[in-house]
Amino acid sequence: ETGVTQTPRHLVMGMTNKKSLKCEQHLGHNAMYWYKQSAKKPLELMFVYSLEERVENNSVPSRFSPECPNSSHLFLHLHTLQPEDSALYLCASSQEWNRGRLITNTEAFFGQGTRLTVV
Amino acid sequence: AQSVAQPEDQVNVAEGNPLTVKCTYSVSGNPYLFWYVQYPNRGLQFLLKYITGDNLVKGSYGFEAEFNKSQTSFHLKKPSALVSDSALYFCAVRGHTGTASKLTFGTGTRLQVTL
Protein backbone atom coordinates (compact mmCIF):
# COMPACT_ATOMS: atom_id res chain seq x y z
CA GLU A 1 0.00 0.00 0.00
CA THR A 2 2.75 2.46 0.88
CA GLY A 3 5.12 1.11 -1.77
CA VAL A 4 7.46 -0.29 0.88
CA THR A 5 7.23 -4.02 1.56
CA GLN A 6 8.83 -5.83 4.48
CA THR A 7 9.22 -9.56 4.96
CA PRO A 8 8.66 -11.49 7.06
CA ARG A 9 5.86 -9.81 9.04
CA HIS A 10 6.61 -11.90 12.11
CA LEU A 11 9.80 -13.65 13.19
CA VAL A 12 10.63 -15.70 16.24
CA MET A 13 14.26 -16.62 16.64
CA GLY A 14 16.54 -18.11 19.22
CA MET A 15 19.54 -16.26 20.53
CA THR A 16 21.92 -18.40 18.51
CA ASN A 17 20.06 -18.16 15.21
CA LYS A 18 20.94 -16.11 12.15
CA LYS A 19 18.12 -14.53 10.21
CA SER A 20 17.56 -11.62 7.84
CA LEU A 21 14.86 -9.00 7.44
CA LYS A 22 14.09 -7.81 3.94
CA CYS A 23 12.74 -4.50 2.71
CA GLU A 24 11.85 -3.52 -0.84
CA GLN A 25 10.62 -0.16 -2.08
CA HIS A 26 8.88 0.47 -5.40
CA LEU A 27 8.90 4.26 -5.19
CA GLY A 28 12.18 5.08 -6.90
CA HIS A 29 13.54 6.64 -3.71
CA ASN A 30 17.26 7.08 -3.10
CA ALA A 31 17.39 6.77 0.69
CA MET A 32 16.36 3.87 2.92
CA TYR A 33 16.24 3.50 6.69
CA TRP A 34 15.93 0.93 9.45
CA TYR A 35 14.09 1.93 12.63
CA LYS A 36 13.49 0.02 15.84
CA GLN A 37 10.19 0.56 17.64
CA SER A 38 9.95 -0.59 21.24
CA ALA A 39 7.05 0.02 23.60
CA LYS A 40 7.07 3.38 25.38
CA LYS A 41 10.19 4.57 23.52
CA PRO A 42 10.68 6.97 20.62
CA LEU A 43 11.42 5.41 17.28
CA GLU A 44 15.13 4.67 17.17
CA LEU A 45 16.89 5.32 13.89
CA MET A 46 19.34 2.46 13.37
CA PHE A 47 20.80 2.85 9.90
CA VAL A 48 20.52 5.19 6.94
CA TYR A 49 21.51 4.39 3.39
CA SER A 50 21.65 7.29 1.00
CA LEU A 51 22.43 6.63 -2.66
CA GLU A 52 23.26 3.06 -1.57
CA GLU A 53 26.00 4.22 0.82
CA ARG A 54 25.64 3.80 4.56
CA VAL A 55 25.65 7.30 5.99
CA GLU A 56 24.38 6.68 9.48
CA ASN A 57 24.97 4.04 12.11
CA ASN A 58 23.52 5.14 15.40
CA SER A 59 25.70 3.10 17.74
CA VAL A 60 23.88 -0.07 16.82
CA PRO A 61 25.42 -3.29 18.18
CA SER A 62 27.33 -5.35 15.65
CA ARG A 63 24.83 -8.21 15.98
CA PHE A 64 22.74 -6.08 13.59
CA SER A 65 24.30 -5.85 10.14
CA PRO A 66 22.63 -3.90 7.32
CA GLU A 67 23.07 -4.46 3.61
CA CYS A 68 21.89 -2.34 0.70
CA PRO A 69 22.65 -4.15 -2.58
CA ASN A 70 20.77 -1.58 -4.70
CA SER A 71 18.52 1.43 -4.26
CA SER A 72 15.37 -0.69 -4.02
CA HIS A 73 16.43 -3.29 -1.47
CA LEU A 74 17.57 -3.16 2.12
CA PHE A 75 18.38 -6.05 4.44
CA LEU A 76 19.00 -6.32 8.15
CA HIS A 77 21.05 -9.38 9.04
CA LEU A 78 20.59 -10.62 12.59
CA HIS A 79 22.82 -12.93 14.62
CA THR A 80 23.20 -13.82 18.29
CA LEU A 81 20.45 -11.44 19.33
CA GLN A 82 19.33 -10.79 22.89
CA PRO A 83 15.78 -10.86 24.28
CA GLU A 84 15.86 -7.05 24.61
CA ASP A 85 16.18 -6.85 20.83
CA SER A 86 12.56 -8.00 20.55
CA ALA A 87 10.71 -5.12 18.88
CA LEU A 88 8.99 -3.97 15.73
CA TYR A 89 11.57 -3.24 13.04
CA LEU A 90 10.46 -0.71 10.48
CA CYS A 91 11.94 0.03 7.09
CA ALA A 92 11.34 3.37 5.40
CA SER A 93 12.37 5.15 2.23
CA SER A 94 12.39 8.72 1.00
CA GLN A 95 13.63 10.86 -1.85
CA GLU A 96 16.57 12.58 -0.22
CA TRP A 97 18.65 13.76 -3.16
CA ASN A 98 17.65 15.86 -6.11
CA ARG A 99 20.23 16.95 -8.66
CA GLY A 100 23.05 16.40 -6.19
CA ARG A 101 21.40 18.43 -3.46
CA LEU A 102 20.16 17.05 -0.13
CA ILE A 103 16.47 17.68 0.35
CA THR A 104 14.91 17.17 3.75
CA ASN A 105 11.33 18.31 3.25
CA THR A 106 10.12 15.03 1.81
CA GLU A 107 8.15 12.54 3.84
CA ALA A 108 9.33 9.02 4.51
CA PHE A 109 7.22 6.02 3.52
CA PHE A 110 7.20 3.11 5.92
CA GLY A 111 6.72 -0.61 5.51
CA GLN A 112 4.39 -2.55 7.76
CA GLY A 113 7.24 -3.73 9.91
CA THR A 114 8.61 -7.05 11.12
CA ARG A 115 7.59 -8.05 14.62
CA LEU A 116 10.71 -9.77 16.00
CA THR A 117 10.66 -11.93 19.10
CA VAL A 118 13.94 -13.25 20.47
CA VAL A 119 13.56 -16.26 22.76
CA ALA B 1 20.27 18.35 19.29
CA GLN B 2 16.79 18.46 17.86
CA SER B 3 13.86 16.92 19.68
CA VAL B 4 10.11 16.45 19.62
CA ALA B 5 7.84 16.36 22.66
CA GLN B 6 4.39 14.85 22.69
CA PRO B 7 3.28 15.62 26.23
CA GLU B 8 0.25 13.32 26.31
CA ASP B 9 0.61 9.55 26.25
CA GLN B 10 -3.09 9.23 25.50
CA VAL B 11 -5.92 11.48 24.37
CA ASN B 12 -9.53 10.41 24.84
CA VAL B 13 -12.34 12.02 22.88
CA ALA B 14 -15.94 11.20 22.07
CA GLU B 15 -16.92 10.60 18.46
CA GLY B 16 -18.10 13.79 16.83
CA ASN B 17 -16.08 16.03 19.13
CA PRO B 18 -13.03 17.97 17.99
CA LEU B 19 -9.63 16.49 18.79
CA THR B 20 -6.19 17.94 19.36
CA VAL B 21 -2.94 16.02 19.68
CA LYS B 22 -0.11 18.21 20.90
CA CYS B 23 3.44 18.45 19.64
CA THR B 24 6.29 20.82 20.38
CA TYR B 25 9.70 20.73 18.77
CA SER B 26 13.23 22.00 19.04
CA VAL B 27 15.52 22.34 16.03
CA SER B 28 18.10 24.79 14.79
CA GLY B 29 16.83 26.90 11.93
CA ASN B 30 13.47 26.57 10.26
CA PRO B 31 11.80 23.20 10.74
CA TYR B 32 10.12 20.73 8.50
CA LEU B 33 7.35 19.10 10.54
CA PHE B 34 5.45 15.89 9.95
CA TRP B 35 2.59 13.90 11.42
CA TYR B 36 2.29 10.13 11.02
CA VAL B 37 -0.36 7.67 12.18
CA GLN B 38 0.16 4.04 13.12
CA TYR B 39 -2.66 1.51 13.27
CA PRO B 40 -2.16 -1.75 15.22
CA ASN B 41 0.43 -4.08 13.69
CA ARG B 42 1.11 -1.65 10.86
CA GLY B 43 3.85 0.72 9.87
CA LEU B 44 3.63 4.49 10.04
CA GLN B 45 1.46 6.28 7.49
CA PHE B 46 2.16 9.87 6.49
CA LEU B 47 -0.66 12.30 7.34
CA LEU B 48 0.64 15.79 6.59
CA LYS B 49 3.65 18.06 6.67
CA TYR B 50 4.62 21.68 7.09
CA ILE B 51 7.39 23.04 4.91
CA THR B 52 6.72 26.75 4.54
CA GLY B 53 3.90 29.16 3.87
CA ASP B 54 0.43 28.89 5.36
CA ASN B 55 0.60 27.91 9.02
CA LEU B 56 -2.48 25.71 8.71
CA VAL B 57 -1.73 22.53 6.85
CA LYS B 58 -4.41 20.14 5.67
CA GLY B 59 -3.76 16.43 5.29
CA SER B 60 -5.34 13.03 4.88
CA TYR B 61 -8.58 11.80 6.50
CA GLY B 62 -9.71 15.32 7.47
CA PHE B 63 -6.74 16.05 9.71
CA GLU B 64 -5.01 19.40 9.85
CA ALA B 65 -2.17 20.87 11.85
CA GLU B 66 -1.24 24.37 12.87
CA PHE B 67 2.35 25.55 12.87
CA ASN B 68 3.12 28.13 15.54
CA LYS B 69 6.69 29.37 15.31
CA SER B 70 6.65 31.46 18.49
CA GLN B 71 5.41 28.53 20.54
CA THR B 72 7.44 25.97 18.55
CA SER B 73 4.33 23.86 18.27
CA PHE B 74 2.67 21.80 15.55
CA HIS B 75 -0.58 20.47 17.02
CA LEU B 76 -2.69 17.98 15.08
CA LYS B 77 -6.41 18.69 14.90
CA LYS B 78 -9.62 17.34 13.49
CA PRO B 79 -13.00 19.08 13.77
CA SER B 80 -15.01 15.88 14.29
CA ALA B 81 -13.39 12.67 15.52
CA LEU B 82 -14.32 9.20 14.29
CA VAL B 83 -13.92 5.89 16.11
CA SER B 84 -11.75 4.79 13.19
CA ASP B 85 -9.27 7.59 14.05
CA SER B 86 -8.22 5.60 17.11
CA ALA B 87 -4.52 4.92 16.60
CA LEU B 88 -1.01 5.98 17.63
CA TYR B 89 0.07 9.38 16.32
CA PHE B 90 3.66 10.50 15.89
CA CYS B 91 5.01 13.98 15.36
CA ALA B 92 8.42 14.36 13.70
CA VAL B 93 10.81 17.19 12.91
CA ARG B 94 13.60 17.59 10.43
CA GLY B 95 16.03 20.45 9.90
CA HIS B 96 17.69 21.49 6.72
CA THR B 97 21.33 20.46 6.97
CA GLY B 98 23.88 18.49 8.92
CA THR B 99 22.84 16.53 11.96
CA ALA B 100 19.54 18.39 12.02
CA SER B 101 18.59 16.82 8.70
CA LYS B 102 17.71 13.57 10.44
CA LEU B 103 14.05 12.79 10.95
CA THR B 104 13.41 12.82 14.71
CA PHE B 105 10.20 11.39 16.15
CA GLY B 106 8.31 11.97 19.36
CA THR B 107 7.24 9.12 21.63
CA GLY B 108 3.75 9.02 20.19
CA THR B 109 0.26 9.79 21.49
CA ARG B 110 -2.45 7.18 21.56
CA LEU B 111 -5.79 8.58 20.43
CA GLN B 112 -8.87 6.77 21.72
CA VAL B 113 -12.19 7.81 20.20
CA THR B 114 -15.29 6.35 21.83
CA LEU B 115 -18.96 6.30 20.89
pLDDT in tens, B7-52: 999 999 999 999 999 999 998 888 999 999 999 888 899 999 999 9
Which residues in B lie closer than 8 A to residue A110 (C-beta atoms)? 36, 43-45
Return the pLDDT at B100.
Answer: 60
Q: Residue A42 CA to chain centroid, in angstroms?
A: 15
DSSP code at position A39: T
Provide the shortest C-alpha distance from residue B63 to chain A (in Å): 16
Model pLDDT, residue A31: 92
Distances (CA, A) of A102 to A52, A57, A95, B99, B115: 14, 18, 9, 12, 46
Tell me phi and psi for residue B63, to 5 degrees.
Answer: -80, 150
As a whole number of angstroms, the distance between CA A11 and CA A9 comes to 7
Q: How far is A69 from chain B (nearest CA, A)?
A: 23
Res B2 pLDDT > 90: no
Of B61, B55, B46, the closest CA to residue B92 belongs to: B46
Within chain A, which residues score under 50 in pLDDT?
Answer: none
Rounded average pLDDT over B99-114: 88
List CB contacts (< 8 A) between A90 and chain B: 43-44
Q: Would you place residue B99 in the very low, low, confident or very high pLDDT band (cuts 50, 70, 90)?
A: low
Q: Return the pLDDT at B48.
A: 97
The beta strands (E) that lie in chain B are given as 3-5, 10-14, 19-21, 24-26, 32-38, 44-50, 56-58, 64-68, 73-78, 87-94, 104-105, 109-114
Q: Which residues pair with A5 in a beta bridge?
A: A24
Rounded CA separation A53/A28 (Å): 16
In tens, the pLDDT along B51-93 reads 998 999 999 999 999 999 999 999 999 999 999 999 999 999 9
pLDDT of residue A73: 97
